[in-house]
């Protein structure tokens, strides 16, 4: 419009003025002026056929920003008016732009890039109707390259880079209003021919440069650009040749760390050994330039990941690998590696080990392979040492740590699958890597921890917050690799760890004794230098972590097995071992191992365990000597962490799980052995001592109760535990709620309660069992009843000791619920039910005390969570009734209540969250149900006929009535509340769809609004939930056959939403199934509306080819299900067609 | 402590605070520091050096004045926790900035001030509009203030 009304000079003047406004500092112009200026550019870019004006601007204007906008305008207009333009004029436009740039070497970089982008877009758009191909451009580019002028060569590189990024992916591509399918097709065509052309050109340039002796600064900058371009090509995310829907394209492009998997047509190019050699040569040449080295190493790492159809057979792969390793070794052997090379080199090695199959790895000449493993060993040790230095210097950028991680991970990959290598092949290497890890983590003189490069010790006491991860988690990957290597070289590593630990135990003991004497000599002087102690603690800390990872695995849910290497090692030596001495070493943690006669003829694995027990014993003695303040809670944690890990795997081994079991193991920790009884007693003693001494150290107390749970969660171990007097003492002490156990934090107390309850299900005679429950559970009940049944309880309830009593009881109830297992649910449920009824009364009493109210609801949540799935009909109903009453009381007390609180945070809505959780838990019964018509309750049930008074639906809908009005949009901003809310409403729609139409009108409306909101503007997780909720709702409508009900109308609206989502928007692949199911059901319900939607969409298509394709696709989509009915077979057929539909035309309609 | 706790005694003899190990305090719980009853709004722990003992950082708000404080103490320390009581009274009238409240036993209390700020305005508004409201009163360490309102049932 503007171009039509104003002559070119006026346009330029106007634009230049606008540019001046936009570039002016904020103080000079107001926002209105700025907006006006922006508007001028926007409408300029929208103007019709602006080519002549733009050319004029480019040739005359001196304002860079205006030039930039002119280039943008050309780019947008070409795409917009493509069909109207003569092919010849497009071609001349492209030539003009290219020439323009060539003739103006001093253009601002951003202007030049924008013009080249316009060229790239023209080329890409042209490739669609084959009006332009890249050949001519490549011809021009290669002429530019051969010009020898650095400036021109740089320009050539920019052209290639612009083309590459335009074709590479949908995220980098410009928004030109074409379908994702178009972008995908362009990319596929490009990668076969043109990309290779670019690569060849790049390789030529690199070859040229690598031959030159001295490069000027300008030349080496050109060199660097081409190297970066090569890297971009080698990191190309090759699309598989077949057609893929847009969501697959999106998926392919989102993957990080692309490995090089080119199509077959690249074979000749990439298997040419000169290419690989070139990149090694280039790297050798520029390795001291850290920026360029990044690129050259990245190129090599990509080449190291080469795989796929590019290799004709295994032989080719072997040759390639052998050649690559030769190149690698000759590049890095004998040089001092630069800091900037560490990560790159380790990526190369890690890619080789991950990508090439073992049989290919072993097929290369064995000497070469040995050298490779030697080199890997050497690098691992050396990077490990440098990583330790980085830690001392507290560097921000931990390059060696990253490199070390990668190499350790490669080791794990390598040795885990060792059947391809002869036995013991890796042992010596494993010894070296293991030794160097240990060395880096021990203090001088044995190790180098905290030593700077010149051997000076550095030590800082820093503040460590609770958020800082424990080393055992932070370095779990490293420790897992080192532990694995330790197993590979068990003959060396286990005795090494033993002697290092034993020696430190002795030193720790005498150090603590010295402190004690000092304290006795001058009481009150607490200013002792702790450096020596801290060094010992840190040594022991790392030794225990490594030992833990070496001896056992951490499995979740499964029974961990003794690692085969360890078992084998113990069996191999069992003939030389004296069992009695071994037991003696194990059973006397208070004595020095070496003081026991014949101590060298003991089982090494047991001796390593006993070394940790010796550490634990020194700790215990120091506590008894009142030296707790000198001890390290961290070491205390390490000890119980280790013992838990060890006990899970070794204590009372199940011999059935192993082919062969070591005699020392079965004698020391097998079933019915004195050894296992002794060790359980010892561990229990440790737990009890820790809980009283370390109640102020949360993490340590928590690790300690976890150890206790491990001891009782398996029946075999629990049977031994309950034979210990200490166990009974612990139970009594906890029941009495006296110090020190009542100092423990509430999660620890809950877990303790859980352990005590689990222990109660060990085998005991009836009398003992009776007695046990009398000690553990009954006091809880008695105390509780005594408190709440007092006549003046109402007046006393706010007294602190009363409140504490109540809180402690509620916490204990949560712990009891946590202990639920299928074989104890009958007893626990009956026990807890009595409390639940009373708890409802408490809701009333404590209505003004939110923390107590929350805790009461939490008890219900836990009981429902842990037990509902086991409950038969009548028991479940008892629970439903209790929950309903709870909700009624809650509702009565909270309606209209306004809260005044200084901290308006998510926690303030804890009660809402808990209630939603409760409702969700109750609903979960509908799909996870282990109850077998009250099987577990047989004998407990006084055969009453279940008169169905309350159903889950009643409770849940009552709860929803309560919750829904409170869930404002503001509250949905809290992620946990939001997720819980949608989980709940989806469950309700799935389980009780028939209740939805019966909801009161405003409630129904807000439910529908919530669903729409969830589908359109929440996380993908929530969207998926809402889609899942639609299917049952639509089915419900179909069943009811009312075509004027509000639900029917609502589903019609949802049809449109889902239709748009599937057909027009970019969406998440994971959602296709949920969306598809909802879609089908909605289509069945609203066939006429569906046809209308399809018609509307088709009629908006201008391109007849696209129209036809779409129309065909829509026909095919419903072909298998006409007329659509709610029949499973038809639905499955539809879902299958939908997938095909998405692949065929999905990409057509999603426009970028 | 004996198993038998005597719950029959009333207010008399109940101390206004009781001790608790610092590590056992909880967020949203209460604590007395420098003589003031406070609500704990943030609680975290740290240690000096990897082998150091835990220290507790507390951010607390004076429950009556709303002032914010921060403290650090060793997690083994014993702290005082205030006995907090809450009561609901029916509002009878507002006079000279004081509330007249009807207790459950039928007595009238006139010693509580109309709170300042939002809540005070709301109480006044409701009162002036003739609504029946209950006022929640919190008491700690012999100080008492109105902290919330709700409609009478």
- What does the alpha-carbon distance between residue B53 and residue B76 come to, in Å, rounded to a whole number? 9
Nearest to A281 by CA among A340, A214, A232, A212: A212
Q: How many contacts, defined by CB atoms under 8 Å, are there between A and B?
A: 132
CB interface of A with B, residues 924-983, below 8 Å: none
Contact A848 B49 (CB under 8 A): no
> Shortest Cα distance from A532 to chain B (angstroms)?
12
Q: A799 in contact with B at a CB cutoff of 8 Å?
A: yes
- What does the alpha-carbon distance between residue A60 and residue A54 come to, in Å, rounded to a whole number? 10
Using alpha carbons, list the distances in angstroms from residue A1084 to A871, A1011, A1018, A1122: 38, 20, 27, 10
How buried is residue A1148: exposed, middle or buried, by Cβ count under 10 Å (0-12/13-18/19+)?
A: buried
- What does the alpha-carbon distance between residue A936 and residue A869 come to, in Å, rounded to a whole number? 12
CB A875 within 8 A of CB A940: no
Rg (CA), chain A: 37
Write the Ramachandran bin of B66: left for phi over 0, alpha for psi from -120 to 50, otherwise beta. left
Decide which of 2.60.40.10, 2.30.30.30, 3.40.50.1580, 2.60.40.1180 is the CATH code for B17-82. Answer: 2.30.30.30
Question: What is the DSSP annotation of A581-627?
Answer: HHHHHHH-TTS-GGGSTTGGGS-HHHHHHHHHHHHHHHHHHHHHTT-
Contact A848 B136 (CB under 8 A): yes
Domain boundary among A89, A111, A132: A132
- What does the alpha-carbon distance between residue B38 and residue B15 come to, in Å, rounded to a whole number? 17
The residue of A391, A449, A466, A704 whose CB has the most chain B CBs within 10 angstroms, and thus the best one to mutate to test that interface, is A466
Nearest to A884 by CA among A960, A807, A941, A826: A960
Q: Which two tokens stand for residue A439?
A: 């060395």
Domain boundary among A132, A150, A176: A132
Nearest to A1091 by CA among A1121, A1114, A1112: A1114
Q: Is A339 a member of any domain? A: no
Contact A736 B10 (CB under 8 A): no
Q: Are strands B98-102 and B84-95 parallel, antiparallel or unpaired?
A: antiparallel
**pLDDT tens by residue, A18-61:** 998 888 888 888 888 889 999 999 888 888 888 999 999 999 99
Write the Ramachandran bin of A311: left for phi over 0, alpha for psi from -120 to 50, otherwise beta. beta
Q: Are strands B78-82 and B68-74 parallel, antiparallel or unpaired?
A: unpaired
Q: Is A696 a member of any domain? A: no
Which tops the pLDDT comparison, B106 or A720? Answer: A720
- Residue A227: its H or E element: helix A217-234
- What does the alpha-carbon distance between residue A409 and residue B53 come to, in Å, rounded to a whole number? 34
- What does the alpha-carbon distance between residue A805 and residue A738 come to, in Å, rounded to a whole number? 11
Chain centroid to Cα B97, Å, comes to 21
Cα dihedral sign, A179-A182-A183-A184: positive
Q: Which two tokens stand for residue B37?
A: 């009853």
CB B103 within 8 A of CB B109: yes
3-state DSSP helix/strand/coil % of chain A, to nearest 5: 75, 0, 25
Q: Which of A736, A799, A899 is nearest residue B83 as measured by Cβ atoms?
A: A799
- From chain B, pick out residues whose CB is under 8 angstroms from the CB of A626: none
**pLDDT tens by residue, B52-105:** 999 999 999 988 888 899 999 999 898 998 888 878 888 988 888 899 999 878
Question: What is the DSSP annotation of A317-365?
Answer: HHHHHHHHHHHHHHHHTTSPPPGGGHHHHHHHHHHHHHHS-HHHHHHS-
CB A166 within 8 A of CB A117: yes
Number of domains in chain A: 2
Nearest to A686 by CA among A706, A704, A662: A704
- From chain A, pick out residues whose CB is under 8 angstroms from the CB of B7: 786-787, 790, 796, 799, 801-802
- From chain B, pick out residues whose CB is under 8 angstroms from the CB of A629: 53
CB A156 within 8 A of CB A145: yes
The pTM (predicted TM-score) of the whole model is: 0.84
How many other C-beta atoms can be found within 10 angstroms of the C-beta atom of residue A57? 24
Strand segments, DSSP code E, in A929-1063 are: none
A118-A121-A126 Cα angle (round to 5): 125
Q: CA-nearest residue of chain B to A900?
A: B148
Predicted pLDDT of residue B2: 39
Predicted pLDDT of residue A746: 86
- What does the alpha-carbon distance between residue A757 and residue A774 come to, in Å, rounded to a whole number? 12
Comma-separated ranges of CATH 2.30.30.30 domains in chain B:
17-82
- What does the alpha-carbon distance between residue A643 and residue A542 come to, in Å, rounded to a whole number? 15
Q: Are strands B133-140 and B143-151 parallel, antiparallel or unpaired?
A: antiparallel
The domain of A1101 spans 967-1150
Predicted pLDDT of residue A242: 65
Q: CA-nearest residue of chain A to B62?
A: A902
Q: Where are the alpha helices (DSSP H) in A342-469?
A: 342-355, 358-363, 366-393, 399-416, 427-441
CB A731 within 8 A of CB A776: yes
Q: CA-nearest residue of chain A to B9?
A: A796
**pLDDT tens by residue, B116-145:** 878 888 888 888 888 888 888 888 888 888
Q: Which of A463, A541, A851 is nearest residue B46 as measured by Cβ atoms?
A: A463
Q: Which two tokens stand for residue A367?
A: 């000497």
A472-A478-A479 Cα angle (round to 5): 50
What is the per-residue burial (b if ≥16 Cβ within 10 Å, else e) of A540-554?
bbbbbbbbbbbbbbe
Rg (CA), chain B: 19
| Residues ≥6 apart with Cβ < 8 Å to B31 | B25, B37, B38, B40, B58, B60, B79, B80, B81, B82
Mean pLDDT, residues B21-34 = 85
Q: Which two tokens stand for residue A448?
A: 């180098």
Say if residue A31 is preceded by a cis peptide, omega within 30 of 0: no
Q: Is A1129 a member of any domain? A: yes
Q: CA-nearest residue of chain A to B23?
A: A696
Q: Is A357 a member of any domain? A: no
Comma-separated ranges of CATH 2.40.50.140 domains in chain B:
84-151
Q: Is A187 a member of any domain? A: no
The complex's ipTM works out to 0.78
Using alpha carbons, list the distances in angstroms from residue A333 to A362, A367, A589, A959: 21, 15, 49, 71
Place of tokens 């700077």: A452
**B84-151 has which fold?**
OB fold (Dihydrolipoamide Acetyltransferase, E2P) (2.40.50)
**DSSP conformation class of A418:** G
- From chain B, pick out residues whose CB is under 8 angstroms from the CB of A797: none
**DSSP conformation class of B49:** S
Q: Which long-range contacts (CB under 8 A, 24 or more apart) does A469-476 make?
A: A470/A637, A470/A699, A471/A541, A471/A542, A471/A545, A472/A545, A472/A548, A472/A638, A472/A641, A475/A545
**DSSP conformation class of A529:** -
Predicted pLDDT of residue A3: 43
Q: Is A88 a member of any domain? A: yes
Q: Which of B48, B86, B149 is nearest residue A798 as measured by Cβ atoms?
A: B86
Q: B142 in contact with A at a CB cutoff of 8 Å?
A: no
Using alpha carbons, list the distances in angstroms from residue B123 to A851, A898, A904: 25, 11, 20
Predicted pLDDT of residue A940: 47
- What does the alpha-carbon distance between residue A444 and residue A657 come to, in Å, rounded to a whole number? 43
CB interface of B with A, residues 77-116, below 8 Å: 81, 83-88
Contact A745 B52 (CB under 8 A): no
Using alpha carbons, list the distances in angstroms from residue B139 to A71, A279, B133: 73, 78, 19
CB A694 within 8 A of CB A748: no
- What does the alpha-carbon distance between residue A421 and residue A427 come to, in Å, rounded to a whole number? 11
Nearest to A15 by CA among A56, A44, A58: A44
Nearest to A174 by CA among A106, A94, A119: A119
Domain boundary among A132, A159, A186: A132
- Residue A163: its H or E element: helix A150-168
Q: B13 in contact with A at a CB cutoff of 8 Å?
A: no
CB A352 within 8 A of CB A394: no
Ranges of chain A with pLDDT below 50:
1-4, 246-247, 900-903, 935, 939-946
Predicted pLDDT of residue A1073: 79
């Amino acid at each position: 419009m503007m171009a039509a009304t104003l002559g070119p000079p006026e346009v330029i003047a106007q634009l230049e003025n606008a540019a001046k406004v936009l570039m002016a500092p904020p103080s000079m112009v107001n926002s209105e002026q700025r907006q006006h200026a922006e508007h001028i550019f926007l409408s300029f870019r929208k103007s019709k056929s602006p080519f002549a004006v733009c050319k004029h601007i480019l040739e005359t204007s001196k304002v860079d920003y205006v030039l930039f906008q002119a280039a943008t305008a050309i780019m947008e207009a070409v795409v917009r008016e493509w069909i109207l333009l003569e092919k010849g004029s497009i071609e001349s436009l492209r030539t003009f732009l290219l020439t323009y740039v060539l003739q103006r070497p001093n253009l601002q970089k951003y202007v030049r890039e924008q013009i080249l982008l316009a060229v790239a877009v023209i080329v890409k758009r042209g490739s669609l109707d084959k009006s332009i191909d890249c050949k001519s451009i490549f011809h021009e580019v290669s002429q530019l390259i051969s010009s020898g002028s650095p400036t021109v060569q740089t320009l050539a590189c920019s052209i290639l880079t612009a083309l590459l990024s335009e074709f590479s992916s949908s995220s980098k591509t410009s928004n030109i209003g074409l379908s994702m399918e178009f972008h995908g097709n362009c990319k596929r065509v490009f990668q076969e021919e043109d990309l290779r052309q670019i690569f060849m050109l790049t390789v030529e340039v690199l070859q040229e440069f690598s031959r030159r002796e001295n490069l000027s600064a300008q030349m080496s900058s050109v060199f660097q650009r081409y190297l970066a371009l090569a890297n971009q090509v080698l990191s190309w995310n090759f699309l598989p040749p077949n057609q893929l829907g847009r969501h697959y394209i999106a998926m392919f492009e989102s993957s990080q760390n692309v490995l090089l998997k080119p199509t077959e047509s690249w074979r000749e190019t990439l298997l040419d050994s000169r290419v690989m050699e070139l990149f090694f040569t280039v790297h050798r040449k520029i390795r001291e330039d850290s920026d360029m080295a990044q690129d050259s190493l990245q190129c090599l790492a990509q080449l190291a990941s080469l795989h796929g159809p590019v290799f004709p057979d295994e032989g080719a792969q072997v040759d390639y690998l052998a050649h690559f390793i030769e190149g690698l070794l000759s590049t890095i052997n004998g040089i001092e590696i630069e800091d900037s090379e560490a990560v790159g080199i380790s990526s190369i090695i890690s890619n080789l080990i991950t990508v090439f199959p073992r049989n290919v790895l072993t097929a290369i000449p064995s000497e070469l392979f040995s050298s490779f493993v030697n080199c890997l060993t050497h690098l691992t040790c050396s990077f490990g040492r440098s990583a330790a230095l980085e830690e001392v210097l507290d560097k921000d950028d931990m390059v060696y740590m990253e490199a070390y991680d990668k190499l350790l991970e490669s080791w794990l990959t390598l040795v885990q699958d060792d059947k391809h290598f002869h036995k013991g092949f890796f042992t010596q290497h494993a010894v070296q890597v293991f030794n160097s890890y240990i060395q880096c983590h021990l203090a001088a003189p044995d190790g180098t921890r905290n030593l700077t490069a010149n051997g000076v010790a550095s030590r800082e006491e820093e503040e460590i917050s609770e958020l800082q991860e424990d080393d055992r988690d932070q370095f779990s990957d490293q420790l897992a690799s080192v532990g694995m290597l330790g197993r590979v070289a068990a003959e060396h590593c286990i005795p090494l760890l033993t002697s290092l630990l034993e020696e430190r135990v002795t030193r720790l003991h005498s150090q603590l004794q010295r402190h004690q004497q000092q304290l006795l000599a001058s009481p009150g002087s607490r200013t002792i230098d702790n450096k020596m102690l801290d060094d010992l603690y840190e040594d022991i800390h790392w030794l225990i972590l490594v030992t833990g990872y070496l001896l056992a695995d951490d499995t979740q849910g499964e029974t961990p097995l003794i690692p085969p290497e360890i078992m084998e090692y113990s069996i191999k030596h069992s003939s030389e071992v004296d069992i009695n001495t071994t037991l003696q070493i194990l059973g006397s943690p208070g004595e020095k191992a070496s003081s026991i006669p014949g101590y060298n003829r003991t089982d090494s694995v047991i001796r390593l365990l006993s070394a940790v027990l010796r550490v634990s014993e020194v700790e215990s003695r120091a506590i008894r000597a009142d030296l707790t303040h000198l001890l390290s809670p961290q070491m205390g944690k390490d000890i119980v962490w280790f013992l838990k890990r060890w006990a899970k795997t070794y204590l009372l081994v199940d011999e059935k799980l192993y082919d062969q079991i070591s005699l020392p193991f079965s004698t020391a920790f097998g079933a019915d052995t004195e050894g296992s009884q002794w060790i359980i007693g010892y561990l229990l003693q440790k737990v009890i001592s820790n809980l009283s001494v370390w109640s102020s150290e949360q993490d340590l107390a928590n690790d300690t109760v976890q150890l206790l749970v491990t001891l009782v969660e398996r029946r075999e171990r629990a049977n031994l535990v309950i034979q210990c007097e200490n166990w009974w003492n612990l139970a009594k002490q906890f029941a009495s709620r006296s110090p020190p156990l009542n100092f423990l934090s509430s999660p620890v107390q809950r877990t303790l309660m859980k352990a005590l309850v689990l222990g109660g299900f060990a085998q005991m005679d009836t009398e003992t069992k009776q007695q046990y429950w009398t000690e553990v559970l009954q006091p809880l009940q008695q105390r509780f009843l005594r408190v709440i049944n007092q006549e003046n309880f109402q007046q006393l309830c706010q007294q602190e000791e009363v409140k504490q009593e109540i809180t402690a009881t509620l916490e204990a109830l949560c712990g009891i619920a946590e202990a639920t297992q299928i074989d104890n649910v009958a007893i626990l449920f009956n026990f807890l039910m009595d409390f639940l009824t009373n708890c409802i009364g408490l809701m009333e009493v404590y209505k003004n005390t939110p923390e107590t109210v929350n805790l009461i609801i939490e008890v219900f949540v836990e009981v429902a969570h842990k037990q509902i799935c086991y409950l038969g009909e009548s028991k479940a109903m008892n629970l439903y009734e209790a929950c309903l009453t709870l909700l009624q009381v809650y509702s009565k007390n909270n309606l209209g209540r306004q809260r005044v609180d200084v901290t308006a945070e998510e926690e303030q809505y804890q009660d809402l969250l808990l209630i939603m959780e409760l409702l969700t838990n109750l609903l979960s019964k509908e799909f996870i149900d282990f109850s077998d018509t009250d099987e577990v309750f047989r004998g407990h049930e006084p055969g009453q006929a279940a008169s169905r008074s309350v159903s889950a639906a009643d409770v849940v809908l009552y709860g929803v009535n309560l919750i829904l009005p409170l869930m404002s949009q503001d509250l949905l901003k809290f992620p946990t509340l939001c997720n819980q809310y949608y989980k709940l409403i989806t469950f309700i729609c799935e389980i009780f769809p028939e209740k939805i139409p019966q909801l009161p009108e405003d409630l129904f409306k807000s439910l529908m609004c919530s669903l729409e909101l969830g589908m359109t503007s929440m996380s993908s997780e929530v969207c998926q939930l809402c889609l899942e909720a639609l299917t049952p709702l639509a089915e419900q409508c179909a069943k009811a056959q009312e075509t004027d009900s509000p639900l029917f109308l609502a589903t019609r609206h949802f049809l449109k939403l889902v239709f748009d989502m599937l057909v027009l928007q970019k969406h998440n692949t994971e959602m296709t199934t949920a969306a598809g199911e909802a879609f089908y059901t909605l289509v069945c319900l609203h066939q006429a509306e569906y046809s209308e939607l399809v018609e509307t969409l088709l009629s908006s298509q201008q391109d007849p080819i696209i129209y036809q394709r779409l129309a065909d696709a829509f026909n095919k989509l419903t072909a298998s299900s006409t007329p659509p009915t709610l029949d499973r077979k038809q639905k499955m057929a539809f879902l299958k067609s939908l997938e095909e539909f998405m692949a065929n035309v999905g990409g057509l309609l999603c426009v970028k | 402590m004996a198993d038998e706790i005597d719950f029959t005694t009333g207010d008399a003899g109940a101390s206004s605070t009781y001790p608790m190990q610092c590590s056992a305090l909880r967020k949203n719980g209460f604590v007395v520091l420098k003589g003031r009853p406070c609500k704990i709004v943030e609680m975290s722990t740290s240690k000096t050096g990897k082998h150091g003992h835990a220290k507790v950082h507390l951010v607390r708000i004076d429950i009556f004045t709303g002032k914010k404080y921060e403290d650090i103490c060793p997690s083994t320390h014993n702290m005082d926790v205030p006995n907090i009581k809450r009561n609901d009274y029916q509002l009878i009238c507002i006079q000279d900035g004081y509330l007249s409240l009807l207790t459950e036993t039928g007595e009238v209390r006139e010693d509580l001030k109309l709170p300042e700020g939002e809540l005070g305005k709301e109480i006044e508004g409701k009162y002036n509009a003739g609504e029946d409201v209950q006022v929640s009163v919190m008491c700690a360490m012999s100080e008492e203030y109105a902290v919330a309102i709700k409609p009478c049932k």
